Amino acid sequence: MTHAVSRQLPSTQFLLKWVLANLLGGFLVGFLENNGLQFAATLLLTGIVLGTLQWWVVRQVVQQVRWWPLASALGWIVGSLILASSSSLYTPPVNALWNQFGLWEVFWLNLITGPIPVLVMALAQALVLGRRVQLVGWLLANLVAGVVEGGVGATLCAAICQPLPTALVGIVSGLAWAAYSVITGAALLWLLKRPQELSNG
């Protein structure tokens, strides 16, 4: 079996770079969204910005992932379009959770809808990774990470968005994507090592 890891990059170094890449990508998207581009930034730029920065890290440990930025961009756009066209499906559970547990509507909205574009982007990324990672494992990690990203983003925004100057609101998005990246980075490392362990065992 061909090893998935092309270079011996220490796990802590990979994870640190992965978190920083997603933190920066999230900040850039949040900055653009809150400084004129609004929904266009979320729909069109999230996948390409995050995907490109992720690719810079992934290519250091995985061979032949040059399509990662494009796959991420297309996956995010498709996921966002699915989300935009399915409000009749997720609005009832959002309202039910809001009425039952309180907090605020945006929190539940982000918690439920956050994983949708993340999952579709992850599926596109899995096509690039191929058999080097277990599909179910990668999607499950992104499902959890999408929930965390949505919840962290909503919580932080409720706490600090209003006093922050517009130029710094992207910090909220950056921190939300950093939370996502802790989960996906650890999962990717684990999934990439599994084929090697199986081939050596």
pLDDT tens, position by position, 31-68: 888 777 667 667 788 999 999 999 999 998 888 899 99
Beta-strand (E) ranges in 56-151? none
Could you tell me if residue 4 is inside a domain? no
Question: For the chain, what percent of residues have pLDDT higher than 90?
Answer: 45
Could you tell me if residue 67 is inside a domain? yes
pLDDT for 13 equals 92
> Tell me, what amino acid is at 22?
N
Which band of pLDDT confidence, cut at 50, 70 and 90, is reported for residue 91?
low
Rounded Cα gap, residues 123 and 119, in angstroms: 6
Could you tell me if residue 5 is inside a domain? no
pLDDT for 196 equals 46
Mean pLDDT score of the chain, rounded to an integer? 82
* Total of domains in the chain: 1
Could you tell me if residue 105 is inside a domain? yes
Could you tell me if residue 99 is inside a domain? yes
Average pLDDT over every residue of 131-150 = 92
pLDDT > 80? residue 200: no
Alpha helices (H) in 3-86, listed in sequence order = 11-32, 39-40, 46-58, 68-84
pLDDT for 197 equals 46
Could you tell me if residue 146 is inside a domain? yes
CA dihedral 25, 137, 121, 168 (to 10 degrees): -20
Rounded Cα gap, residues 8 and 60, in angstroms: 9
Alpha helices (H) in 59-169, listed in sequence order = 68-84, 87-101, 105-113, 115-129, 135-156
pLDDT for 94 equals 61
> Which residue range is the domain that position 36 belongs to?
11-173+185-200
pLDDT > 70? residue 3: no
pLDDT for 194 equals 76
Torsion sign (Cα): 103, 108, 110, 111: positive
pLDDT > 50? residue 151: yes
Average pLDDT over every residue of 160-184 = 89
Q: Are 171 and 27 contacting, i.e. CB atoms less than 8 angstroms apart? A: yes
**What are the beta bridge partners of residue 133?**
none
Q: Say which residue, 156 or 174, is predicted with more confidence.
A: 174
Interacting residues of 13 by C-beta distance below 8 A, sequence separation 6+: none
Which band of pLDDT confidence, cut at 50, 70 and 90, is reported for residue 92?
low
Rounded Cα gap, residues 123 and 39, in angstroms: 23
pLDDT for 199 equals 38
